[in-house]
Chain A
Amino acid sequence: MIYLVFDNVELLRSWERSSSIIRLLFRLHDILKIPEVGIIYISSSSPDAYYSSHGSIEPLTVYFPDYTLENLHDILLISNQSNPKLFSTFLSVVLKPFYRVTRRVDELSVSLQPLFLKYCEPLSDQILVPDEAMKRRLFDNLQSHLVASLNNLFMVPHWSSHQIKSDRECSKKRSRKSGSNELDFHMSMSMKYLLLSAFIASRNPATLDAALFDSSGCLSNRKRKRSSMTSMNQKDNMAEEILLKGPGTFPLERLLAIFQCIAHVGETMAEDEQIENCITAEGGSVGLTSDVLLELSSLCIANFICKGGSCPIEGSARYRCIIDEEMAVKVARSINFPLSSYLYRR
């Protein structure tokens, strides 16, 4: 008997000419007409995902359900052999709340490991088998960490940030950064300005640029807000729309214009300080050089800014800033930039 095993069949669906390939694959046994050949398909998606392929012959299905709480307990117990009794009591406390969030072994084992270290902290002797009183004490100690840990479930610990390359998803990367209060990476001054101007360009409607930045680059007086009923409604609609649409795109010219404006503001602020300190250095000048374009491309590579579709009329590339507000605020704080006054509040 020969068995052919096809793993990850669900990926076939995204192939070119997938429907005929899937049809052929599922009819393979029929076409071969060799009873000594068995064919096994392994797929993470259910059989109805393949129905569109002209009612091909349906294989017998064997369903593998997800792990139950007991399964997970047993599986995780295997990974920690040093003190199984202690780990087992730890799991019986911790696993249940985590189980409400995720059932995947990989995610659970990653997030439970540091928590277990915290759990063990009060123990002097790790080989010890805990009694009831000890269990309670350990649990009380852990409880404060538990909620925080649940909410940071998918964060990669800080120390590993250098080892983990950028192949992680950008969402994960951002989540890691927003965890701590300080930026945990280095970025040049002009790059920070560039990132902030990209953020502003993405959040604000383009029509508002003229109002926000006057010719001298300083902050102009903003119009007084109206708060009638209709404008409130409009605002709600706007907020809804922004929620749905996400950050807007902008052409390079707009980014550079905003960059020049806010860099100028930053410069004057820096100069004020320098005058106070009686230093006459020309350090803070941020000119529009080819460096800026280089920095823009490295921001793109770092996945802070992404290149959107090009504009059909102008043909130039459009960009979109995909960092969240939390991070933008942090970047602004690190260079003392008054970001909030430049953002259009709806």
Chain B
Amino acid sequence: MENKIIPYTMLSEALNSTQELIERILPEYGMPSLRIGLEKINSVLDDYLQKAQEGFPIVGYHFAFPGEYLQCYDCVPVCLEASGYFLATLLLHGVEKYYDLIANFGHPYHTCSAQKASMAFTLDDLFRFDAIITPTAPCDSTCASYPFFRYEGKFPLIIADLPFRFDEKGYEYYGNQLKLSLTKLGKEIGQEPDYKKLKMALELENKTNKLQLEIFELAKTIPSPIENMYNAVSAATAILIPGTIEKYEFYKEMLEIAKYRYRKKVHHGGEEHIRSIWPYMLTFFDISLCEYLDRELGMSILFDIFNYNFSDPINTRSDLNTMFYDMAKKGMGWPMVKQSIEFYYPFINDCVRFAKEFSADCFIFTQSLACKQFGTVPQLLKEALKEIGVPMLIIEFDVGDARMTSLATMKEKIKMFSQTLL
């Protein structure tokens, strides 16, 4: 059978070689999050590739659509944003050539590189989906770029309208949208939703969430028992392998390591000099920045946007409507979605609170080119943090495209900023 998800094969191969390098080169306890994370992700990807070979329908999904919701179908879930970003991370020369390919097609340079790569993969016939499902949030880039898949890729595009109102009314509306869109998806791929399977995936996610929350709490201690790399790998597991036992195991093992370090007061980089909070994203074009900060600057990244958003557990024991309501709450509280559909006030208040609770020395706000929905918050946040004496560095960059702000520039900026803190 033809391979309809070649980028996942590329990802799997890149993961294999990276994993091999880690196993062979790093000492046994070096960067455990990367070692464990890659192993777990690889295992799930192998399974997906196998299922794709067997002819299961390929369902593309936006990262803001919690992927575990797709487990009510026998399908191969493929995260469009994760595909590009993790190839950007793992391929030696990144995925810039794909960004150029879609730019030559006429896609504006200022849209999100998260979608650019998958659009180019589609243009290059590397991706063939049986359907794609997406919410209408978090950003203009999503709303603007996804129609490409319908009109150019000719893939059925199913849209769940995510209301820009973070309240009861919004949860009910989105719960209904989730139900409708999943039903539509089922029709598109010729399957009935298996809610029993969905409930199992949700319950597993509930348990995983609990572990994440514990790790998050441990990051409050000094020194932080969480290595910076954890944040990047955790983001990958969250959007690439949701609702799987492997994801659960990743957090379980990471929690054990964090607890050990906490008891021993050990810091991954040796000594913690600066405690930083990254309220937005890390670089995905080169995650070695995480290790550089830990080891060279003694700067802990206590968490980034993918690692501080926690929703209430989804009630799977009541009726379906309640379950969908909770699923909506989770979807609307998803990293970046929550901050996008809400006004800035809670985001700023949360950051100020986190700064105190986590004894942060500074904030680093990475303003991505594509994220217009965040383009007016950095200065407001900087001013709010200044009032409690916490400085913030703003770096404009592209999460996936190394050409906009290079790793060297980022390192230099952070280094200079850190010197003002010490």
Partners in one complex: no
